[in-house]
Amino acid sequence: MPSRLPAPYSNIGLLEGIAANSLDDDYYEIRPVNSKHPGGGTLITAIGLALFALLVTIASAQNRTDRPADQVELNTLIANIHNRKAAIEKGESQARKIRSDVAKLRALSSRTDPEFEALRVIASDISVTGPGVVVTADNSTKQNSGGRVTDIDLQLLVNGLWYAGAEAISINGSRLGT
């Protein structure tokens, strides 16, 4: 089998050839020193480092002077949070008191006012009992019949019951109002 290595590597192995010529020949060339400005690169580097040090010093000084303002903002935010929590607790306390007052008033009014009870029935606020009709609406069991109960079907059924004189209607235990 003929060797496929290039001419410089034909007498030695591939790894030995790569190791022997690992650096490019241009690496060994020495650049001439600029005689007009000897050490000019060093001066530019020194100026760059000095500017960088100045920037770092200014940034750290600004950071140190900003700390009190940041602390004031933090304390203000914490105080604001505590004030809002207190306002929420006060509002919840007022809501509990109002719910309690409403429950007491309902208890008093339902014992003394039959018109109020009638209005609660009409408004679907309470459940009712008595003779009634049970209507079962279910999807068709036949395949490909398209017989699914839709919301429009239930709306037509409920409106028909209202027109027939129903006083109360419930769907799956949920009371409907007029």
Least confident among 34-38, 66-70, 92-96, 168-172:
34-38
pLDDT at 142 over 70: yes
Across the chain, what does the average pLDDT equal? Answer: 80
Rg (CA), the chain: 46
pLDDT at 89 over 80: yes
pTM for this entry: 0.34
CA distances from 60 to 48, 52, 53, 65, 132 (A): 19, 12, 11, 9, 83
Tens of pLDDT, residue by residue over 30-62, are: 766 655 555 557 888 889 999 999 999 998 888
CA distances from 169 to 39, 75, 134 (A): 99, 58, 10
Least confident among 67-71, 95-99, 133-137:
67-71
Q: What is the pLDDT of residue 111?
A: 63
More confident residue, 52 or 112: 52
Q: Compute φ and ψ for 156, nearest 5 degrees.
A: -60, -40
**Beta-strand relationship, 174-176 and 169-171:** antiparallel
Q: What is the pLDDT of residue 126?
A: 80
Q: What angle do CA 107, 111, 113 make, to 5 degrees?
A: 110
5: number of Cβ within 10 Å: 13
Residue 93: its H or E element: helix 40-112
Q: What is the pLDDT of residue 112?
A: 62
pLDDT at 137 over 80: yes
Q: What is the pLDDT of residue 1?
A: 46
Taking the C-alpha atoms of residue 18 and residue 163, their distance in angstroms, rounded to an integer, is: 99
Q: Do 155 and 171 contact (CB within 8 A), yes or no?
A: no
168: number of Cβ within 10 Å: 18
More confident residue, 47 or 14: 47
